[in-house]
Amino acid sequence: MNLRQALFSVAWVVPIAVAGCAAVALAQSSRPAPPAALDPTADKILAKACQTLGAADAFSFHADVMFDQVLPGVVKVQYGGAMDYAVQRPGELAIVYRSDLGGKDLWYGNGSLTLFDPKYGMYATIAVPSTIDSMLDQVAEKQGLTMPLSDLVYSNPCARPKKVAVYSGYLGVHPVEGVPCDHLALSSSKDDFQIWIDHTGKPLPRKIVINHRSEPGSPEYIAILSGWKFPKDIASSRFQPQLPKDAKQIAFAKAEEAKP
Amino acid sequence: MNRTIQQCSSVSFLAKALLIIAALGLAYAPVVHARGRFGGGGGRFGGGGDGFDRGSFGAGRSGGDYGQHSSSGDYGQHSSSGEYGQHSSSGDNWHPPSSESSSNSSSEHQNASNDYNTYHQNQMAEQQSRYNEANTLQENQEQTEKQMHNSTMNTVNNTAGDWNGGNNNSSGSSTGEAMGAAALGMAGGMAMGSMMNRPQYNPYASAPPPGYGSYPPPNYGGGYAPPSYGYGSGYPQQTQYRPPQNGYPQQPPPQGYQPYYNGSQVQYAPPSGQY
């Protein structure tokens, strides 16, 4: 048997190896998603925070935010901003948001939502449902409009994060701005979410980090929450649009139209 | 004869084993790559807008997974082609809503659409050229810095660099030669300055000079430093990229374009009926 014959004798291995390769690849691609692994300790702490927020008739807080922008070449830069939230259940909400790249003022009440962009001096007003939950769902669906940290203002703030979470864990007591907090981590199939909840006082979120793991460059959103207040009522004037005289009215595009 | 057969059998067995190993390697290769890559791939870049549409986990579209929370102004939304560089980082793009107004005729629609596309492509090309310009400038600067650093190192090594008995690549050099090289402009005045001010370091030495303490050698300060951007992400021409400042003047929208809210972001579209 010469070398040629030897090589010929092993030729049958090639298709078998290719088939094996394909089988392994197929098995990996069709492997079912692992079952959700939710930590009961984390779940319990999160539930307390959600209960506190969900039970409040009115609350307000301040958030200092940082968010990444991923440029070509996966260069990632970080911008900052600040935001003030005011929530009056069941149907009033106000957000004042300013960032390095612009800002927004949002007023919601009496079944009407107004979004003002001070950078452009333009605003739009639309009729929306009269409860915060329905309004948030509808504007996300129809106008493609989502609001930062809006998870916190739903009547059940835990419902949506828990619905998409496939993993959660309790990471320990870690301070935020000197306040000891329970540090929790949740992950969906696409993103990672961390929340720090006050360990000793009222179980309120003190910090939130969202990592968009599935996006190029894994941009992060970081919010440090402070100034929590729970008044009985917030003055209704806070939820009325206060537009500059020269503000120009424009329209919302429908979400399906807004997509490129 | 038996020996020959035995040898051939060994060759055959080895070949089979190698093929199987190669096949398994091929099968696992994509998985390893996917785990190790930086970011989610796809060549898109994020951002857009003022960040108002960020920061929700689970909220947003009902029934949707998190990450689809914003269809507007969200990262990647202008990247249907998946090619990087066809985006605007400011989020102030002039995008038409796809319908809502009826066009007068299909040809008019087509023309307006072409106009829009041309405008959009021009805008993107302009932005890309800015990025490329910044990139080239940075690369040139880094190349110069690196060259200067290398020259400095050579000069230092050549001049005095031998704590261990002078047994390095520059055994034949002298101080005069090194100074001459510096004077001739290889490293210029900076090399001379650094030679006088900086500690002398021989990268080939097996031990630090007395008094230097720990190895690796002390920081030279002011020498070449790797760029803080670009870690070989695989994107062409962008591995050494430094983004331009956010101070480029914003291009005004084309004549007659109308503003509207695309989600939470103001964008511009051609006049009603023109697209």
Whether residue A116 is predicted with pLDDT greater than 90 in this model: the reply is: yes
The rounded distance, in Å, linking the Cα atoms of A182 and A175 is 8
Distance from CA of B137 to the nearest CA of A (A): 16
Q: Which range has highest mean pLDDT (A111-120, B22-31, B263-272)?
A: A111-120
* pLDDT tens column, B95-148: 434 333 333 334 444 444 454 455 445 555 555 555 565 566 566 666 666 666
B227 upstream amide cis, omega within 30 of 0: no
User: In this predicted model, what pLDDT tens digit does every residue of B244-272 receive, in sequence order?
Assistant: 434 444 567 777 888 889 888 888 887 76
* CB-CB under 8 Å, A14 with B45: no
Average pLDDT over residues A106-126: 96
Q: Flag whether pLDDT at A83 surpasses 50.
A: yes
pLDDT, position B56? 79
Please give the residue that has the higher pLDDT: either B66 or A239. Answer: A239
Residues 6+ apart with CB under 8 A from A146: A136, A139, A140, B53, B56, B59, B60, B69, B70, B72, B263, B264
Taking contacts as CB-CB distances below 8 angstroms, the residues of chain B near A25 are 27, 30
ipTM at complex level: 0.75
| pLDDT of B85 | 32
Q: Cβ(A83)–Cβ(A222) under 8 Å?
A: no
Note whether B53 contacts A25, CB cutoff 8 Å: no
Whether the pLDDT of residue A190 is over 80: the answer is yes
pLDDT band at residue B169 using 50, 70 and 90 as cut-offs? very low
Q: Point out the least confidently predicted range of A215-229, B60-74, B252-266.
A: B60-74
The count of CB pairs under 8 A between chains A and B is 295
User: Taking CB atoms and an 8 Å limit, are B54 and A67 in contact across chains?
Assistant: yes
A254 has a pLDDT exceeding 70:
yes
Tell me the per-residue pLDDT of A16-27, one tens digit each, with 9 for 90 and over: 656 655 655 555
What amino acid occupies position B200?
A: Q
Residue with the bigger pLDDT between B239 and A245: it is A245
Give the pLDDT score at B192: 42
Lowest mean pLDDT across A63-72, A180-189, A204-213, B33-42 = B33-42
CA neighbor of A39 nearest in space, from A31, A47, A28: A47
* Distance of residue B155 Cα from the nearest chain A Cα, in angstroms: 35
The chain-wide mean pLDDT, for chain B, equals 48
| Percent above pLDDT 90 for chain B | 0
Domains present along chain A, CATH in parentheses: 40-258 (2.50.20.10)
Average pLDDT for A185-197: 94
- Region A233-260: mean pLDDT is 86
Chain B residue with CA closest to A101: the answer is: B50
Whether the per-residue pLDDT at A181 is higher than 90: the answer is yes
Contacts of A122 in chain B (CB under 8 A): 259, 266
Q: Do A7 and B99 touch (CB under 8 A)?
A: no
Q: Which of A98-107, A140-149, B214-223 has the lowest mean pLDDT?
A: B214-223
Residue A144 has pLDDT above 60, yes or no: yes
Q: Which residues of chain B lie closer than 8 angstroms to A17, CB-CB?
A: 19-20, 22-23
Contact B67 A140 (CB under 8 A): no
Which residue in A2, A75, A258 is closest to B229 by CB distance? A75
CB–CB contact A117 B266 (8 Å): yes
Chain A environment of B250 (Cβ under 8 Å):
none
B63-66 contacts at long range (C-beta below 8 A, 24 or more positions apart): B65/A164, B65/A188, B65/A189, B65/A190, B66/A160, B66/A161, B66/A164, B66/A188, B66/A190, B66/A191, B66/A193
Q: Higher confidence at residue A184 or residue B60?
A: A184
pLDDT value at position A6?
58
- CB pair distance less than 8 Å for B72 and A258: yes
CA A81 remoteness from chain centre: 16
- At residue B253, what are phi and psi to the nearest 5 degrees? -70, 155
Shortest distance between the Cα of B241 and any Cα of chain A, in A, equals 7
pLDDT interval class at B2 (50, 70, 90) = low
Pairwise CB contact (< 8 Å): A70 & B75:
yes
Rounded to a whole number of angstroms, the distance between the first and last alpha carbons of chain B is: 83
pLDDT value, residue B264: 86
Greater pLDDT, A102 or B47 = A102
Residue B60's alpha-carbon distances to A150, A191, B231, in angstroms, are: 8, 14, 34
Beta carbons within 8 Å of B7's beta carbon, 6+ residues apart:
none
Q: Which residue of A has its CA nearest to B234?
A: A73
pLDDT digits (tens, 9 = 90+) for A49-81: 999 999 999 999 999 999 999 887 778 999 999
**Closest-approach residue (CA) in chain A for B65:** A164
Q: How many CB atoms lie within 10 A of CB B55?
A: 27
pLDDT at A25: 55
Task: Name the DSSP letter for residue A55.
Answer: H
Task: Please give the C-alpha separations between residue A111 and each of A45, A59, A60, A235, B260, in angstroms, as whole numbers.
Answer: 34, 19, 20, 17, 21
- What is the enclosing helix (H) or strand (E) of B9? helix B2-36
Neighbour tally for A127: CB within 10 Å: 10
Please report which confidence band the pLDDT of residue B17 belongs to, taking 50, 70 and 90 as the band edges: low
The answer to whether residue A249 scores a pLDDT higher than 50 is yes
Q: Measured between beta carbons, which residues in chain A are less than 8 angstroms from residue B48? A: 69
Which 3-state string (H, E, C) describes A109-142? Answer: ECCEEEEEECCCCEEEEEECCCCHHHHHHHHHHH
Query: To the nearest whole percent, how much of chain B has pLDDT over 70?
Result: 11
Average pLDDT over residues B68-82: 32
| Nearest CB neighbour to B23, from listed A20, A69, A256 | A20
Read off the pLDDT band of A84 (50, 70, 90): very high
Question: Are B55 and A65 an interchain contact pair (Cβ–Cβ within 8 Å)?
Answer: yes
3-class state of residue A192 by DSSP? strand
With beta carbons under 8 A apart, name residues in chain A contacting B47: 68-71, 219
Q: What is the structure's pLDDT at A127?
A: 97
Nearest to B57 among A67, A210, A252 (CB): A210
Q: Kindly tell me the burial class for residue A128, based on how many C-beta atoms sit within 10 Å of its own C-beta (0-12, 13-18, 19 or more).
A: buried
Our CA-based measurement puts residue B55 at a distance from the nearest CA of chain A, in whole angstroms, of: 5
Cβ–Cβ under 8 Å, residues B71 and B77? yes
Q: Indicate yes or no: CB of B75 within 8 angstroms of CB of A208.
A: no
Of B30, B55, B246, the CB nearest to A221: B55
Which residue is closest to B64 within chain A, CA to CA?
Answer: A164
Report whether B196 contacts B206 (CB < 8 A).
no
The mean per-residue pLDDT over the stretch A214-235 comes to: 95
- H or E element, residue B5: helix B2-36
> What is the DSSP track for B81-104?
T--TTSS-TTS------S-SS--S
Residue B60's closest chain A neighbor by CA?
Answer: A140
Spatial CA neighbour of A146 closest among B62, B90, B258: B62
Chain-centroid distance of CA B220 in Å reads 27
Average pLDDT over residues B217-232: 40
Q: Which pLDDT does position A180 carry in this prediction?
A: 97
Residue B222 has pLDDT above 60, yes or no: no
Q: How far apart are CA A185 and CA A193, in angstroms?
A: 6
CA distance A64 to chain B (A): 12
Contact B58 A119 (CB under 8 A): no
Q: How far apart are the first and last CA of chain A?
A: 66
Q: Could you report the per-residue pLDDT of A28-48, keeping only the tens digit for each?
A: 555 555 567 889 999 999 999
Q: If you average pLDDT over every residue of chain A, what do you get? A: 89
Cβ <8 Å between A215 and B46: yes
Rounded to an integer, what is the distance from CA A245 to the centroid of its chain?
Answer: 34
**Which DSSP string do the residues of B165-182 spell out, in sequence order?**
SS-STTTT--HHHHHHHH
